[in-house]
A and B are shown apart, each in its own frame.
Chain A
């Protein structure tokens, strides 16, 4: 197990390293001169060279990469191109915090609900309940996030006026105020996850129910509830754990659409802004953070899977 852990951590670091090369390489390929793009056509040669100097743009790419990576690792994430040149790290961390709030709430809503639905459907395969749940979950998977988002906004914010349509965030918000802002985007994201997780759970339950050990458990004379809760779910939920962890990664990075629909100040919105403004230091940092969380949730999923699965744990 220790071996496994070490191996997985090495893999995580390797993933991040490869990502750093990719993202750095891609920003190098951007057409045009960054300095001129940022400063505009009227910038003087002096201004341009000052900009290049400041962001180390004249150095050979390899050196730029090494300097950037070194800075990134040691926590010196540089400053943004945008006016006032705010430092990148607090900016990204601030947005990350918001996105994490949204992500945690989404998971709290979607995980219990979708597991419940998936188990119900799986235990009654091909029954009316199963069909109902399947239609519902496949239906919401099919709907694009911006459609559900806009529908929710029109009904609950614009129509009924119960909740705010956009998400203005202040540091001073209480938990209740946070919830008012988070609830609509979280429900939108939940609806998307619901389909995946519940389908996966259903498939897991159906598959496990066919296995011989279930018959053994029944023929031991255990009550039905115990057969399901202790024996079937213990194994059926293993693949679901992987799906949940993968969706955590998806939440961090893939909330872009939802955040933009609700204008929620998270990493997704920051990423879109950075791309629009060709704000390379911010872009690089956001991508690295997103990939880090993706890889981390993968790692956690694998470790959890291994910890719960004696066949791997005891290797």
Chain B
């Protein structure tokens, strides 16, 4: 039975006095017990649509037409006062960023019990008990204690459980989950997804799961709707959309997800171009400007949303041809410029790097107290071969970013040796020569933070060229080099005169990469270079990094929380946990048995975009311990599913050699690991 039924819904935004449709003629039905995935890239309108289902709109938006029926009752006609009886009672939201979505000034228990007091008239005491009970249901240990905590005292994963407890406490009819796992680590995300699945089924609620991530949708949802520029591109049962996508956009999205099984000598299929803006949608298919198989007709005539086979619907003029296999959307995988095999010798060697953060306050000094210090990087050694990519994977708190910052001397290491191109590299920035600066460059996660908004792209690149090149250069020489760099990162020359605000996120990241390559570096440290980008854009950047490596002969130290991204680009991988490297080897060594119990859990937590893939499930218990208070013995023992016993708590495990340079830091002998992990 349909819990929510949306018909012909159009939502408009007001911009400069005009109303523009942001959500266009949407039909959507969600039945009891169904989890419906709503997928789209940033700007597709997925969050607007999700909140509109709750009859909640931003101040500058309006419902232009259509109906939203909740159990047959049309919400569009309702006034906000009437909605207070439905919000929280029948419709609940699990928000994107739980820390921001909770009031910092009230305890968790208070914020959960508020709802049941309002809607079910429970007394303060009864509502509190119910809140504690809900916390128990979302598998929070010690719910009594957590109920008295404040939001800032809990981790992201815990907070997301809290918002779920809050949303479910009135047994709502429909749950809207707005990118609820985006900010979480993979292992936490896996646990949260399990929880969603169980609780939503158990309560018989319906749910709309909004996400940009096809893989999590595949693992959680029954039905999926793909949104692009505010229009539905296709709707289908989850299995169909993944195994035989009908719409060119869906095909492109699925293709652009890096998977470690792929041959690394091919490039990722990408969707070029950017989505049309709100004010300029054109008359034809909204996807036409990026569609690889667009016809003349596509630019003139908007395709209708048509029913295809097996209850699917699709909005494309050519779906019949795609279904019949007469036209292929994905251009056959292009071979990469063959990567040159890594050269002998190393660009960078790091020996036993240490970085401890301690910030003794005035008070500590006055009372001669030892401040709690954070060992962010603990005796880490690594070697990066020339012309290769070294991938560093870890979740938040693993110390991977600290390690990168220590190498480029943004936060110099406390001790340890660094060698760059066989020359000693001082730990502190002011002791490094210009040569070293040129050879060692960094690309940051968020290009917005590193590009000066008041300089054109040409000026930004020009300054870097000038600064890194000791000799005075003529303006025309600099200009020539700027254009060369733009070309290298596949941006048109006209971009030299644009400002960062005129560029999309992916384009800005390309500029940041161009800047890193300004002085022909030997090593580029890239810290989560794609994690703020949409998947289709991420694919473009990953391809670009791969091409540049071949063309410019540079090496990378690539840092990411995403094992698949790292594996796609790397020749060698290190997995970090709480400041130590737990395992290191080639991508296939790391993905296959034997592997470190932590890597095993990490790999099994990665959601696959293919819903039929059910990996052997290893779930981690609990939270990453605080680096202020490191576990004794093996750092992973508090969460290790394969823990041996007291030896793991008392003795630091040895680095064991599993052959071919593949190292695993664990007490379990390699042979036993293989038996355990293959059974």
A-to-B contact residues, CB < 8 Å: 3, 6-7, 10, 211-213, 215-224, 231, 234-235, 308-311, 314
User: Judging by beta carbons under 8 Å apart, are B56 and A219 in contact?
Assistant: yes
Name B362's closest neighbour in chain A (CB-CB): A7
Instruction: Name B364's closest neighbour in chain A (CB-CB).
Output: A3
Q: Are A212 and B95 in contact (CB under 8 A)?
A: yes
Which one of B11-19, B101-109, B389-397, B419-427 contacts A? Answer: B101-109
Closest partner residue, chain A, to B163 (CB atom): A216
In Å, the complex CA distance between A116 and B102 comes to: 26
Stretch at the interface among B62-70, B112-120, B455-463: B112-120
Question: Whole-angstrom distance from the CB of A306 to the nearest CB of chain B?
Answer: 12
Chain A interface mostly helix, strand, loop or mixed?
helix
A211 CA / B93 CA spacing, docked (Å): 15
Question: Which residue in B100, B114, B153, B363 is a CB contact (below 8 Å) of A222?
Answer: B114
Determine whether B677 belongs to the interface, using a CB cutoff of 8 Å to chain A. no
The number of chain B residues with a CB under 8 A from chain A is 34
With a CB–CB cut-off of 8 A, which chain A residues contact B84?
221-224
Is A220 a contact partner of B104 (Cβ separation < 8 A)? no
Sample of 9 further A-B pairs with CB below 8 A, known A219-B93, A222-B118: A6-B363, A10-B366, A213-B102, A219-B54, A219-B88, A220-B114, A221-B85, A309-B105, A311-B152
A216 to B51, CA, bound (A): 11
What's the least CB distance linking B60 to chain A, in Å?
13
Residues of A within 8 Å of B106, CB to CB, are: 231, 234
Give bound CA distance, A216 to B103, whole Å. Answer: 9
Q: Which residues of A contact B366 (CB under 8 A)?
A: 10
Q: Does B583 contact A (CB under 8 A)?
A: no
State the 5 A-B residue pairs at the shortest beta-carbon distance, nearest first. Answer: A221-B88, A221-B87, A220-B88, A212-B100, A310-B150
Complex CA gap A311/B102 in Å reads 13
Chain A residue with the shortest CB-CB distance to B100? A212
Contact with A along B603-628 (1 / 0, CB 8 A): 00000000000000000000000000
A265 to B658, CA, bound (A): 88
Q: How far is the CA of A213 from the CA of B119 in the complex (A)?
A: 19
Given contacts A219-B92, A220-B114, contact A7 B104 (CB under 8 A): no
Question: Which chain B residues have a beta carbon within 8 Å of chain A's beta carbons?
Answer: 54, 56, 80, 83-89, 91-93, 95, 97, 100-107, 114-115, 118-119, 150, 152-153, 166, 362-363, 366
A216 to B106, CA, bound (A): 13
Q: Chain B residues near A6 (CB, 8 Å)?
A: 363
Q: Known contacts being A234-B105, A308-B105, A309-B105, is A221 close to B93, with CB within 8 Å?
A: no
CB-CB < 8 A to B100: which residues of A? 211-213
- Which residues in B have their C-beta under 8 angstroms from that of A220? 87-88, 114-115, 118, 166
Q: Residue of B at shortest CB range from A211?
A: B100
Q: B105–A235 contact, CB under 8 A? A: yes
Contact between A311 and B88 (Cβ–Cβ < 8 Å)? no
For the complex, give the distance between the alpha carbons of A108 and B85 in Å.
39
Asked if B105 and A310 make an inter-chain contact with CB atoms under 8 angstroms apart, the answer reads: yes
Q: Bound complex: CA of A311 vs CA of B152, how far in Å?
A: 6
Residues of A within 8 A of B95 (CB): 212, 215-216
Pick the residue among A211, A222, A231 that contacts B88 (CB under 8 A). A222
Known interface pairs A220-B88, A222-B88; A231-B152 also in contact (CB < 8 Å): no
Hey, which chain A residues are within 8 Å of B91, CB to CB?
219
Of A7, A211, A218, which one neighbours B87 at CB under 8 angstroms?
Answer: A218
A221 vs B55: C-alpha distance in the bound complex, in angstroms?
Answer: 12
Q: What are 20 A-B contacts defined by CB distance under 8 Å?
A: A212-B95, A212-B97, A213-B104, A216-B101, A218-B56, A219-B54, A220-B114, A221-B87, A223-B84, A224-B80, A231-B103, A231-B106, A234-B105, A234-B106, A235-B104, A235-B105, A308-B105, A310-B104, A310-B107, A310-B152
Give B107's nearest chain A residue, CB to CB: A310
Chain A residues whose CB sits within 8 angstroms of the CB of B92 once the complex forms? 219
Nearest to B117 among chain A residues (CB) is: A222
* Complex-state Cα separation, A309 to B119, whole angstroms: 28
A308 closest partner in B (C-beta): B105
Q: How far is the CA of A223 from the CA of B87 in the complex (A)?
A: 10
